[in-house]
Structure formats: structure tokens, C-alpha cells
Amino acid sequence: MSLTNSQHDAIMRSYEEKQRAARHRLEQNTETVYQKIPAYEALDRQVAAVSIEQGRKLLNGDENALPHLRQRLRELSEQKSSLLRKNGFPDNYLSLIYACDKCRDTGYIDNKKCSCFRAAEIDLIYEQSHIRDLLKTENFCSLSYDYYAGEDLEKFTKAVQICQNFVKSFHKDYRNLFFYGTVGTGKSFLSCCIAKELIDQGRLVIYFSASQLFEILSKSTFDKDSAEAASGISDDICDCDLLIIDDLGTELTNSFVSSQLFSCLNSRHLRKRATIITTNLSLGELRDRYSDRIFSRITSNYDICKLTGQDIRKQKKTASAIK
């Protein structure tokens, strides 16, 4: 799930294109200004001439050359800015405008990935996990109570209210959700509903199946070839606004998985970062499959929502066949 070389190269090419676009805009803007304000072009020529003149004096030992150069360049810069304003141009019209000012569209700051590069990585992960496709159909707008009845309906209605409150109070309250119950009762659906609402608010949401999550954590630990890329995603897993772990229990569970799961949940808890977990396991099966400390962490720090009923996917398939 970590970036392949081709994926990394694709992101870097997008940065190169942004840089080219910025330079092209600057060239076009400069040409526009020269056409409308000939005096501005003359000032630019003066800047070049003064720099050359004072540079020669500096090489010849004139100690006043550098202060004179700085003073003259300030004066010329002020004149240029004044000309732009008088002719209706903004002050930054002849500056390079970057999509990301922090890294200046390079993707890196001091050899570390910029947050915009992280966002591009997450964007690829979304594509790989098909979260965008899911959110087109699995959201509060498509929510239906038609597949529930009796006690099952009561549980689902309560779970929906919990989800809506989770979204409303997300910016001020630290909460976690744990959905469990029988297959096809809306656990993943509700987590997607929350994901869409928070993504629309500009929150960083990462959605993984349990098997995908532990694949990444495994690569960051054991695979030297992809450790660097995977470790970056691992950092985001621990620090994103919301992490959704779907279908916990479907992965191959072993001591490494249990250790990594606790480390992930504990790290997010210490940082007060929200987590949603969905599983078909019962609470007893959860305790038996994972460690007591994981069971304790979840039951102590998560709102527990149990969903029951008939498999909605089967109900939809049956209804479609009848039609």
C-alpha cells in the first residue's frame, strides 16, 4: 500500500508541472506589465545596470559599493511597486505564485515531505482503497431505515444518532466509535457516512480495511525497500484527524498484528485523535483474539454500538431479483 516508484515519480512530475505553470504565469504577467507600463521595463533595466556597476566597484575594493547597491535597489523596488499600484496591478503580480507556499511546489521542506506531499500520498491511498467510490453511495443522504424492524431498528436508529453527534462535536470533543454485530447490518456504511461529512469539512480521514492497515505497518517494519515511504504513511495513520479500521478480525491475526494494533490505538489515544473500528466479531471474540489491553482500551475509550438484523446486501439482492 506504500507508494511505488512510479507513484512517487507521478507526484513529483505534478510538482514540476506546477513550477512550470508558475514560471509561465510570471513570464506572461511580466510581458503584460511591460506592454502597459513601459517605464516599468526601464526600471528593470536600471536594476540590472546598477547591479553590474556596483558589482564592479565592489570587486575593485569600494567598501561603500554594497550599501549603495542595497539602497538603490530598495529605491527602484519602491518605484516599481508604486507603478504597479497606480496601474491597478496587485503588489504580487510579478511574484512567483505557488500552489503551496511552504515548500514552493517542491514537495519537500529540508529533505522532509511537505504536508501537501502527504496529502497527495493520502489521495493515492484513497484511490487504492476506493473510498471515493464508497462515499458516492454510502453517506447520510442515502441512509435508509427500511431494512430494519423492531429491536434491530432501535439499535440502528440509536447508532445513526451517535454518528451524527460524533460529526457535530468532532471539532471540540475527542471520541472513538466501535461498531460490532452481525454481517451486513450497516457498520461500514455508518463509518463511511462519518468519513464523507468530515472530509467535506476538510478533515484528514484515512480509511483502511484491517488487512490493508496491517500490510502498511508490516512494510514499515520489515520491508527495507519500501520502509521510507511506508513509514511516512504510518506517521499519518497515527496523526490523521480520523482513522477508520474496517472489518477488524478479517486479517491474519498474530502477535505482530496484536502488538501493532495496540501501538496504533494507544498512540492515537495519547494524541487525542479519533478512531472508528468496525468488526463482525463479538466482544468475547475480540477479547479472545487480541490482548486484554486492546480489549480494555476499546471498551474503556470507545462508544460501543451493536448492530443486528438481516444482511442488508442479501435483502437488496433478493429485492432486485424479484423486480
pLDDT in tens, 155-187: 999 999 999 999 999 999 999 999 999 999 999
Distance from C-alpha of 238 to C-alpha of 68, rounded to nearest angstrom: 54
Look at residue 130 and tell me whether its pLDDT is greater than 70: no
The residue with greater pLDDT, 247 or 311, is 247
- Who's near 284: CB < 8 A, 6+ residues apart? none
Contact between residue 261 and residue 290 where contact means Cβ atoms under 8 Å apart: yes
Domain boundaries, the chain: 5-108, 130-322
The residue with greater pLDDT, 190 or 65, is 190
Torsion of Cα atoms, 305 then 308 then 310 then 314, to 10°: 20
CATH number assigned to the domain covering 130-322: 3.40.50.300
For residue 129, the model assigns a pLDDT of 52
Question: How crowded is the C-beta side of 98, counted as CA atoms within 13 Å?
Answer: 12
What is the band of 92 on the pLDDT scale with cuts at 50, 70, 90?
confident
Contact between residue 241 and residue 204 where contact means Cβ atoms under 8 Å apart: yes
The average pLDDT across 250-256 equals 89
The mean predicted confidence, pLDDT, of the chain is 88
Helix 210-222 vs helix 227-239: crossing angle, to nearest 10? 130
pTM over 0.75: no
pLDDT in tens, 58-76: 888 888 888 988 999 999 9
What is the band of 133 on the pLDDT scale with cuts at 50, 70, 90?
confident
The average pLDDT across 6-11 equals 81
Going along the chain, which residue ranges are E strands?
Answer: 108-109, 112-113, 177-181, 205-209, 242-248, 274-279, 303-307
Torsion of Cα atoms, 24 then 27 then 30 then 32, to 10°: -70
